[in-house]
């Protein structure tokens, strides 16, 4: 590629795009999957809602940039995140040529109150099926991120990253119904969930509930690792 040596550094002679990260941050409550949005305070799209994101700094890699944005917007650290892909239509940002690398994450909505960053006037959670119009190409990013999230949840026991250490089968089913946006048959779900041998039945029950206390379970990660190493699979 053509370039010029400038003060001991190699410099490209042709224009190149800026790079950003955008984060589809999903929050779980009892019966809805929600999305964290910020209301832009600056042009372009001032007043419009958008995914949290920002420009990648010169000294950080892409995942570090995504985690920084996630922490700045929600205060969340050390959370599971997954890269969605790159979005780079030349007209996606009216300011300049910008390529964005998108990510998704799930956080516990109640444990992580949100705050608006310096270039946002507001931040709020919205049900994924009741979203306002989104700035830039963020609707396309969201649709891709949601598909990636649901595919990952179906193929891997990701639920246990977000459930309490001890949980009921009802809580487990509710997680999948909330994320997948569909109702699952109770009997079939429980039979299938227990068939993988990755749930440990505890000699403990719920406490402080008005209904009949349900038995508690925990995720047996060593059993899952053995199953995966043996070529076994998981699906919902």
Q: What is the pTM of this model?
A: 0.85
Find residue 122's DSSP bridge partners.
Answer: 39
Find residue 12's DSSP bridge partners.
Answer: 3
Lowest mean per-residue pLDDT among 8-12, 72-76, 159-163, 192-196: 8-12
Number of CB atoms found within 10 A of residue 153's CB:
19
d(CA 60, CA 202): 44
pLDDT of residue 69: 87
Q: Which domains does the chain have, with CATH numbers?
A: 12-154 (3.90.79.10), 157-229 (1.10.10.10)
pLDDT of residue 14: 84
pLDDT of residue 8: 59
> Which tokens sit at 28?
């779980």
Predicted confidence band of residue 2 (pLDDT cuts 50, 70, 90) = low
Number of CB atoms found within 10 A of residue 78's CB:
6
Predicted confidence band of residue 116 (pLDDT cuts 50, 70, 90) = low
pLDDT of residue 143: 98
pLDDT of residue 74: 72
d(CA 113, CA 161): 19
d(CA 136, CA 128): 18
Task: Work out the average pLDDT over 129-136.
Answer: 96
The sign one gets for the Cα dihedral 191, 197, 198, 199 is positive
pLDDT of residue 118: 63
């Amino acid at each position: 590629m053509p370039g010029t040596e400038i003060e001991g550094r190699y410099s490209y002679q042709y224009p190149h795009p800026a790079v950003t990260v955008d984060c589809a941050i999903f929050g779980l409550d009892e019966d809805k999957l929600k999305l964290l949005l910020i209301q832009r305070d600056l042009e372009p799209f001032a007043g419009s809602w958008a995914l949290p994101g920002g420009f990648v700094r010169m000294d950080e890699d892409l995942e570090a940039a995504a985690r920084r944005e996630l922490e700045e917007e929600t205060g969340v650290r050390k959370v599971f995140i997954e890269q969605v892909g790159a979005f780079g239509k030349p007209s996606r940002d009216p300011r300049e040529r910008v390529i964005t690398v998108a990510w998704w994450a799930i956080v516990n909505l109640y444990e992580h109150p949100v705050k608006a960053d310096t270039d946002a006037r507001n931040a709020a959670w919205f049900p994924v099926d009741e979203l306002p119009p989104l700035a830039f190409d963020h609707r396309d990013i969201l649709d891709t991120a949601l598909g990636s999230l649901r595919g990952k949840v179906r193929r891997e026991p990701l639920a246990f990253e977000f459930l309490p250490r001890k949980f009921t089968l009802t809580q487990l089913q509710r997680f999948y119904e909330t994320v997948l946006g569909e109702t699952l048959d109770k009997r079939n779900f429980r039979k299938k969930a227990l068939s993988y041998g990755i749930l440990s039945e505890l000699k403990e029950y719920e406490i402080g509930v008005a209904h009949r206390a349900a038995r508690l379970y925990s995720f047996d990660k060593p059993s899952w690792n053995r199953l995966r190493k043996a070529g076994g699979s998981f699906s919902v």
